[in-house]
């Protein structure tokens, strides 16, 4: 991934404070720049082609989810699997209410509190991540440590999301806040831009 503009963009980025339901203060940086996939780390896949066979992604993600739950002693129930599969059904984020609607259409009425609890379990296992800027959730398609310094890339056109490793971005944030005496509790970096395919499509229609 081409990250050279990041440092410059971060200096002019907007910083917003978002309150979560748990009351924790979140530093949310909304950055804008175009993303290319050259040099993307193998453990963090690039945006797949729009017409790719998503069954492969889904099966890999499901296999990893089951293995990780087994490893961490987390019970893999039919409902947890159904929720995970719905979140992982595409590379786009889904809200908790989207999930409730989809499950209701398949004849399963699940209370919001139960959906949130399942999402919390899946998040704590690192299988699902929350997209703070959209109040939605997406399935992790990369095999990485929960504490990995990742940034989330969101395509404004196709709505798809991927993650990328960016330890330098976290180091820059830590250095920038150090002098202020500010204690970082959690850093979220979500980058809004265009995936390769959407950027090419836009360029072709200009
Ligand atoms: Zn896919
Ligand atoms: Zn992830
Ligand atoms: Zn796109």
Instruction: Report all structural domains of the chain as residue ranges with CATH numbers, in order of start.
Output: 6-205 (1.10.10.10)
Give 153-156 contacts, CB < 8 A, sequence gap 24+.
153/35, 153/47, 153/191, 153/193, 153/195, 154/93, 154/190, 154/191, 154/192, 154/193, 155/47, 155/193, 155/194, 155/195, 155/198, 156/192, 156/193, 156/194, 156/198
Residue 191 has pLDDT above 90, yes or no: yes
Cβ pair 35, 1 in contact under 8 A: yes
Residue 109 has pLDDT above 90, yes or no: yes
Ligand 2 centroid vs 101 CA: distance in angstroms? 25
Across the range 132-143, mean pLDDT stands at 96
Ligand 2 centroid vs 45 CA: distance in angstroms? 10
Which residues, chain by chain, have CB under 5 Å from ion ligand 2? 140, 142, 163
Q: Residue 24 — pLDDT band, cuts 50, 70, 90?
A: very low
Which pLDDT score, from 0 to 100, does residue 39 have?
39
For residue 120, the surrounding DSSP H or E stretch is helix 112-124
Separation of alpha carbons 165 and 43, rounded Å: 9
Residue 32 has pLDDT above 90, yes or no: no
Please state the φ and ψ torsions of residue 31, each to the nearest 5 degrees.
-110, 155
Ligand 1 centroid vs 14 CA: distance in angstroms? 31
Both tokens of 90, joined, read 């595409």
Residue 27 has pLDDT above 50, yes or no: no
Beta-strand runs (E) in the chain: 14-19, 25-32, 128-131, 136-139, 150-155, 161-165, 187-193
Across the range 15-38, mean pLDDT stands at 39
Ligand 1 centroid vs 12 CA: distance in angstroms? 33
Which pLDDT score, from 0 to 100, does residue 17 have?
36
More confident residue, 40 or 84: 84
Ligand 2 centroid vs 140 CA: distance in angstroms? 4
Burial class from Cβ neighbours inside 10 Å (0-12, 13-18, 19+) for residue 139 reads buried
SS3 state at 39: coil
Ligand 1 centroid vs 16 CA: distance in angstroms? 31
For the beta carbon of residue 193, count every other beta carbon within 10 angstroms. 18
Across the range 61-84, mean pLDDT stands at 96
Question: For the chain, how far is it from start to end, CA to CA, in angstroms?
Answer: 25
Place of tokens 């910083």: 15
Residue 31 has pLDDT above 80, yes or no: no
Q: Residue 205 — pLDDT band, cuts 50, 70, 90?
A: confident
Both tokens of 171, joined, read 């180091």
Which residues, chain by chain, have CB under 5 Å from ion ligand 1? 48, 54, 57
pTM confidence score: 0.79
Ligand 2 centroid vs 127 CA: distance in angstroms? 7
Q: Residue 146 — pLDDT band, cuts 50, 70, 90?
A: confident
Give the max Cα distance, the chain: 55
């Amino acid at each position: 991934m081409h990250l050279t503009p990041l440092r410059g963009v971060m200096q002019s980025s907007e910083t917003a404070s978002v309150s979560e339901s748990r009351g924790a203060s979140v530093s949310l940086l909304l950055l804008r720049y175009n993303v290319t996939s050259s040099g993307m780390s193998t453990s963090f896949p690039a945006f797949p082609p729009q017409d790719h066979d998503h069954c492969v992604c889904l099966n890999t993600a499901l296999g990893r989810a089951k293995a990780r739950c087994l490893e961490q002693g987390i019970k893999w129930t039919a409902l947890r699997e159904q929720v995970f599969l719905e979140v992982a059904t595409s590379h786009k984020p889904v809200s908790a209410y989207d999930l409730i609607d989809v499950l209701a259409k398949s004849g399963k009425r699940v209370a919001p509190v139960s959906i949130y609890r399942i999402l919390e379990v899946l998040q704590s296992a690192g299988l699902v991540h929350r997209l703070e800027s959209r109040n939605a959730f997406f399935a992790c398609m990369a095999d990485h440590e929960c504490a990995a310094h990742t940034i989330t890339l969101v395509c404004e056109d196709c709505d798809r999301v991927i993650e990328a490793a960016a330890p330098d971005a976290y180091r820059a944030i830590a250095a920038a806040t150090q002098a202020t005496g500010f204690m970082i509790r959690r850093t979220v970096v979500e980058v809004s831009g265009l995936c390769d395919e959407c950027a090419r499509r836009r360029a072709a229609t200009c």
